[in-house]
Structure 1
Amino acid sequence: MTSTPVHVTRKRPTVAVLGTGIMGSGMARSLLRTGLGVRAWNRTQSKAAPLAADGATVTETAEEAVRGADVIVTMLNDGLSVAAALTAASSGLHGGQILLQSSTVGPDATADLAQRAADLGLVYLDAPVAGTKQPAEQGALTVLVSGPSAVRPSVDPVLDAIGQRTIWVGEAPGEASRLKLVVNTWVINMVGSIAECLNLAEGLDIDPQSFLDVMKGGPLDSAYLQGKSAAVLSGDLTPSFALSSALKDTRLILEAAGRSGVILDLVAASADRFERAEAAGHGGEDMIATYYAGRPPE
């Protein structure tokens, strides 16, 4: 007798997205495109409202968003914001829900949030992402994950929707967040280098495009160099990643480096530039607005 094969169908998770700024809204749309149910909440509700047209259920409270959800994605500015969102959502939570914590909050806040999640009965996954606005909207982020791999089958549909690649770093929360700081160090140093090259070209009365033409197609060229430079030269500084958020990340990196005894001169210099640009009113623009920190006073 030939037996009939048994097909196991896994339930497609319902996802609550807490935080629908530049990154969170893009991630929510990527989840919706794959057919996952999404409930979206943002402290400023107007930022979540446009997601309703894409099929999300936009809720007035964090509690409504998480009630009955299988996976909760947090994409907020910092650890305090995530903690506040969890407190606001607490009466809607139930044991066994997976918290996919994707905000860049640093090692200390990660440890605090992991403990809060445990106290609430949640399964905590430390899951910061590498990428900015466009990859978030395209489902092309790189997701760094540390936490219990036993829940991987339950969360894979979510990870596959928001990212083109998932790297499982380890079993302990904090490992992914520490790696994210290393990744962001590279990005922050690179954007500072681009800004300074454009500053120097203009200071020496060289057309910045000439510099880009020299680099184009060579071993030191990159889409990042060309794209960020084009943003400056066109004057379109619509944020893919806001300068104020980059400044927050430089502070997290420097704090972690200081505790480990590592000296990061370039990141410290980038922090100074970001602070000057923010003080000049560029905090809400793309991080390449650090360019303005290097221009001579008018």
Structure 2
Amino acid sequence: MTGSQAESTDPSDTTGAPAHGTRVTVLGLGIMGQGVADTLLREGFAVTVWNRSAQKATPFAEKGATVASSPSEAVEKAEVVVSVLFDADSVLGVLDEVADAVPADAVWVQASTIGLEGTARVVDRAKAQGVALIEAMMLGTKAPAETGKLVMLAAGDAGLIAKAQPVLDAMGSKTVLAGPAVGNGTALKLAANAWIASITAATAQSIALTQALGLDGDLFLQAIDGGASDSPYAHTKGKSILDREFPASFALDGLRKDLGLITEAASGSGVATTLLDALRAAYADASEQGHGGDDIASVYEAFTADRA
């Protein structure tokens, strides 16, 4: 399911219904939230944004969004609310603040990676407050968020998902239905992010090893190119590693947070954490070298032979 192009609608006109018939509020304007808001504006939705640090929200007024001064103001006319916040406490705090402002017929799309326990807490809080909640985990990083090419991992009531589907279609290239319970999407996202953490660290390690053995690191990427072990992601992160430039598409400390949630989920379900423990150590090493705000490809710095 691909994002559809808007008909002749001015995204800055929030007085009437947009082409899609949906008013969307985006709560949280980090890397992913900014990309999602840009995509929804481009697709012709009437978008309202809010961010705790107001300076991140201000530029969206020039792009045609309504910038709210509080989360309650942001959601008061929303038909779909998309929360893209950092952790469970952030989501719970905003839910508490907006409980009386969320329209009765609005659908809240929880898109923050907050783990199984955090998701359970949010589900309980939303139920107590009468907020209709589904989840749609976003699989992808900055560029897919900005271009509507995320993979959406949706879970929850089928009717609510259907109501939010035009928004999910705009955000992503496809929607994978993970299950009927909010939390199924989170479980799938944790498994997927374990893979992302693994393949990024493995790419970094192999390039570092290739270089340490006296060869050009690009030879590793050439060797796997087109073969059974190849991955487009290895080439994307590999280029960043070879250039030794790490503009954040997925911040390393954000993945470290996710790895903690993944380890917690694995431990609770009887899955050995041997590899996860090693990954957490590698990403922690890179973070301690000052790369916490850089892209996850900077895990390379944990493997380099020329470390100071």
TM-score, length of structure 1 as denominator length: 0.93
What is the aligned length? 289
Q: Matched residue of 2:99: which SS?
A: helix
Instruction: Give the corresponding residue for 1:133.
Output: 142
Give the letter for the 1:78 counterpart: D
CA contact (8 A) 1:100 1:126 kept: yes
Instruction: Give the percent of matched residue pairs that are identical in Structure 1 and Structure 2.
Output: 38
| Alignment-mate amino acid for residue 59 of structure 1 | A
Aligned with 2:85: secondary structure?
coil
List, as ranges, runs of 4+ consecutive aligned residues in structure 1 with deviation greater than 3 Å.
Answer: none
Q: Which amino acid aligns with 1:31?
A: L
CA contact (8 A) 1:13 1:154 kept: no
Deviation of 1:11 (Å): 6.9
Give the CA deviation at 1:181: 0.8
* Residue from 97, 114, 127 that aligns with 2:106: 97
Shift of 1:96: 3.0
Could you tell me which residue of structure 1 aligns to residue 167 of structure 2?
158
1:58-137 residue pairs with structure 2 within 5 A?
58-137=67-146
Unaligned stretches of 5+ residues in structure 1: 1-9
Distance 1:14 1:262, change over 3 A: same
**Corresponding residue of 2:259:** 250
Matching residue within 238, 241, 244 for 1:232: 241
| Counterpart contact for 1:99–1:125, Cα < 8 Å | yes
- From 22, 31, 36, the equivalent of 2:31 is 22
- How far, CA to CA, are the matches of 2:119 and 2:258 in structure 1? 14
Q: Does the residue aligned with 1:169 lie in a helix, a strand or coil?
A: strand
Partner of 2:62: 53
Cα distance, 1:18 vs structure 2: 0.4
Aligned to 2:52: 43
Give the whole-Å Cα distance in 2 for the aligned partners of 1:292 and 1:196: 9
State how far apart, in whole Å, the 2-side matches of 1:85 and 1:24 are.
15
* CA apart distance, 1:177: 0.6
- Equivalent residue number for residue 10 of structure 2: none
**1:142-161 Cα shifts (integer Å, max 9, x gaps):** 11111110123321111111
1:176 paired residue number:
185
How far apart are residue 170 of structure 1 and its match?
A: 1.7
**CA-atom RMSD in angstroms:** 1.4
1:199 partnered with 2:228: no
Q: What does 1:264-275 align with in structure 2 at a 5 Å threshold?
A: 264-275=273-284
TM superposition shift of 1:266 = 1.6
Partner Cα distance (2:93, 2:223) in 1: 49
What SS class does the counterpart of residue 15 from structure 1 fall into? Answer: strand
**What's the counterpart of residue 284 of structure 1?**
293
Which digits, 9 at most, give the CA deviation of each residue in 1:120-145, with x for residues without a partner? 21111021111110110011111111
Q: CA–CA distance in 1 between the matches of 2:283 and 2:291?
A: 9
> Could you tell me how far apart the structure 2 residues matched to 1:201 and 1:47 are?
41
**Offset, 1:221:** 2.0
- CA–CA distance in 2 between the matches of 1:11 and 1:135? 21
TM-score by length of 2: 0.90
Deviations 1:203-239 (A, max 9, x none): 2121101222222222222221111111111122111
Structure 2: 5+ residue runs without aligned partners?
A: 1-18
Letter in 2 for 1:98: V
